[in-house]
Amino acid sequence: MHDFSQAKAAYEKGYGKTPERKDGCFKTLSGGDVKPLYTADDVAKQDYARDLGFPGEFPYTRGIHATMYRGRLWTMRQFAGFGTAKETNERFHYLLEHGQTGLSVAFDFPTLMGYDSDHNRSRGEVGRCGVAIDSVDDMSDLFDGIPMDKVSTSMTINGPAAMLFAFYIAAAERQGVKGEQLRGTIQNDILKEYHAQNSWLVGPEPSIRIITDIFKYAAKNVPQWNTISISGYHIREAGSTAAQELAFTLADGLCYLDEGVKAGLNIDDFAPRLSFFFDVHIDFFEEIAKFRAARRIWAREVKKRGAKDPKSMLLRTHAQTAGVSLTAQQPENNIVRTAFEALAAVLGGTQSLHTNSYDEALALPTEKAVQIALRTQQIIAHETGVPNVIDPLGGSYFVEALTDRLEAEAYQYFQRIEELGGMFPAIDTGFFRREIAKSSFVQQKEIETGRRKIVGVNAFESAEEREQQTQLLYVDPKLEEEQKKRVQKTRATRDALKVEAAVRNLDEACRGDGNVMAALVDCARVRVTQGEMCGVCRKVWGEYRKLAAV
Q: Which domain CATH number covers 427?
A: 3.20.20.240
pLDDT for position 1: 47
**Per the domain annotation, does 511 fall within a domain?**
no
- The DSSP H or E segment spanning 127 is none
> Which pLDDT score is estimated for 467?
47
Task: Determine the pLDDT at residue 200.
Answer: 87
pLDDT of amino acid 294: 98
Q: Is 326 part of a structural domain of the chain?
A: yes
Q: Give a yes or no: residue 23 inside a domain.
A: no
End-to-end CA distance of the chain: 51
Q: Give which of 208, 194, 151 is closest to 175, Cα–Cα.
A: 151
User: How far is residue 526's CA from residue 501's CA, in Å, rounded to a whole number?
Assistant: 10
Radius of gyration of the chain measured on its C-alpha atoms: 24
Q: Please indicate, yes or no, if residue 317 is contained in any of the structural domains.
A: yes
Strands 184-186 and 225-226: parallel
* DSSP sequence for 401-412: HHHHHHHHHHHH
**Is residue 12 a part of any domain in this protein?**
no
Ranges of the chain with pLDDT below 50: 1, 467, 548-550
Establish if 101 belongs to a structural domain: yes
In a domain, 479, yes or no: no
Whole-angstrom distance, CA of residue 543 vs CA of residue 550: 21
**Looking at residue 96, what DSSP letter applies?**
H
pLDDT at residue 377 in the model: 97
Side chain identity, residue 494? R
Provide the pLDDT for residue 48.
61
With b meaning 16 or more CB within 10 Å and e meaning fewer, what string describes 381-416?
beeeeebeebbebbebbbbbbbbbbbbebbeebbee
Instruction: Give the tens place of pLDDT for each residue, 86-107.
Output: 999 998 998 889 887 788 898 9
Question: Would you say the C-alpha torsion 214, 217, 219, 223 has a positive or negative sign?
Answer: negative
pLDDT of residue 469: 63
Helices 367-382 and 333-348 sit at what angle, rounded to 10 degrees? 40
| Average pLDDT over the chain, rounded to an integer | 91
Q: For residue 330, is it left (φ>0), alpha (ψ between -120 and 50) or beta? A: left
Is residue 188 included in any domain, yes or no? yes
Secondary structure element (H or E) that encloses residue 459, with its range: none
Residue ranges making up the domain that contains 77: 48-466
CA distance 93 to 268: 37
Could you tell me which of 136, 116, 73 has the C-alpha nearest to residue 387? Answer: 73
pLDDT for residue 550 = 46
pLDDT score for 546: 60
Give the burial class of 9: count Cβ atoms within 10 A of its Cβ; 0-12 exposed, 13-18 middle, 19 or more buried.
Answer: exposed
- pLDDT tens per residue across span 179-238: 999 999 999 999 999 998 888 889 989 999 999 999 999 999 999 999 999 999 999 999
- How many distinct structural domains can be found in the chain? 1
Confirm if 406 and 246 have CB atoms less than 8 A apart: yes
